[in-house]
Amino acid sequence: MNDRESALRQWREAERADDSVLLDGFHALKHALRFGAEVRAVLTRDRAGVAALAQELAPDLAARVDALAVEVPVAELRTLVPRLHPTGVAALAARRPRAANLAALARQPRRAPVVVLDNPRNLGNVGAVVRLAAGFGVTGVVTTGDVDPWHPAAVRGGAGLHYATAVEPLTQDQLPDGPLFALDPDGDDIRAITFPDGALIAFGSERHGISPAVRARATRLVAIPMQPQVSSFNLATSVGMGLFHWMSRRAS
């Protein structure tokens, strides 16, 4: 059996695993490798092109990418990944273990907040929030409701950075301990508030806002100033402003 046949068999075996996650594109693969993911299969339409990308954008990973990547004809690759990323790379990795995420979320004292997305609806926004959370170095992102934050569309939006922080769906009664600051238009102006490192910072959906259950649990309601007659900020934008506020007021 040649390398291509072996790689395709390995892909199909990994694809059947319940915990396999699609990494869409070179950047998702790069971040997954950098943050310790178990990468099970890597396919590309252009192995030389991937090697050049790795040398340019992630020289620390170039040898690993070179060892993992197997070139297959683009028509064959599209049968496995119909929406092929422009970089021509697709990979499968194991989902970060739930036990590890729960341990990270429960660890005390926390050195950075946990972002709570209360019943989010848009998977692209969930992925964008994960990317923000990784950039700010927060403890994790938890979601309530029926959206899986590890859905392929969310992982695509997160560019593989789900492996850089603890990302888990939880029920509202499973939220980690800590003071909970809920973003709400009726809250106190965020500019007068400092979020402690151990805080939970909760954001509701753009349409419905924070749920009654999370509102009832909140230590404090917090509002980001907004012009009159504007309905809401985008979810990821609100999270970005909230996390920048935390970071900018944090004791160094």
147-201 pLDDT tens trace: 999 998 999 999 999 999 999 999 999 999 999 999 998 999 999 999 999 999 9
Provide the 10 A C-beta neighbour count for residue 170: 17
> 213 or 232: whose pLDDT is higher?
213
Whether domain 3-94 has CATH 3.90.400:
no
Cα-based distances in Å from 7 to 55, 70, 124, 159: 23, 7, 30, 23
> 113 or 229: whose pLDDT is higher?
113
pLDDT band at 205 (very low <50, low <70, confident <90, very high): confident
CA distance 162 to 154: 9
Position 125 pLDDT exceeds 50: yes
Say if CB 155 and CB 29 are below 8 A apart. Answer: no
Q: What pTM does this model have?
A: 0.92
Section 132-159 average pLDDT: 95
Position 252 pLDDT exceeds 80: no
Dump pLDDT digits (tens) for 217-242: 999 999 999 888 787 789 999 999 99
Section 98-102 average pLDDT: 96
Domain with CATH 3.30.1330 in the chain: 3-94
Say if CB 37 and CB 94 are below 8 A apart. Answer: yes
What is the structure's pLDDT at 192?
A: 94
What is the structure's pLDDT at 245?
A: 96
CATH number, domain 98-249, options 3.40.50.300, 3.40.50.1820, 3.90.1010.10, 3.40.1280.10:
3.40.1280.10
List of residues 6+ apart from 229 with CB closer than 8 A: none
What is the structure's pLDDT at 2?
A: 62
Position 101 pLDDT exceeds 50: yes
Position 82 pLDDT exceeds 90: no
Position 143 pLDDT exceeds 90: yes
Position 250 pLDDT exceeds 90: no
Burial grade of 171 (CB within 10 A; 0-12, 13-18, 19 or more) = exposed
CA distance 224 to 241: 8
Q: Which two tokens stand for residue 93?
A: 């990795």
Position 3 pLDDT exceeds 80: no
What is the structure's pLDDT at 1?
A: 47
Position 138 pLDDT exceeds 80: yes
CA distance 49 to 66: 11
pLDDT band at 56 (very low <50, low <70, confident <90, very high): very high
Domain with CATH 3.40.1280.10 in the chain: 98-249
Beta strands in 25-77 (DSSP E): 39-44, 69-71
Amino acid identity at 174: Q
Between 11-15, 25-29, 173-177, 200-204, the lowest mean confidence (pLDDT) is in 11-15
- Strand ranges across the sheet with 220-223: 166-169, 140-143, 114-118, 200-204, 180-189, 220-223
CA distance 75 to 82: 9
What is the structure's pLDDT at 8?
A: 84
Say if CB 43 and CB 80 are below 8 A apart. Answer: yes
Amino acid identity at 172: Q
Whole-number percent of the chain with pLDDT over 90: 81
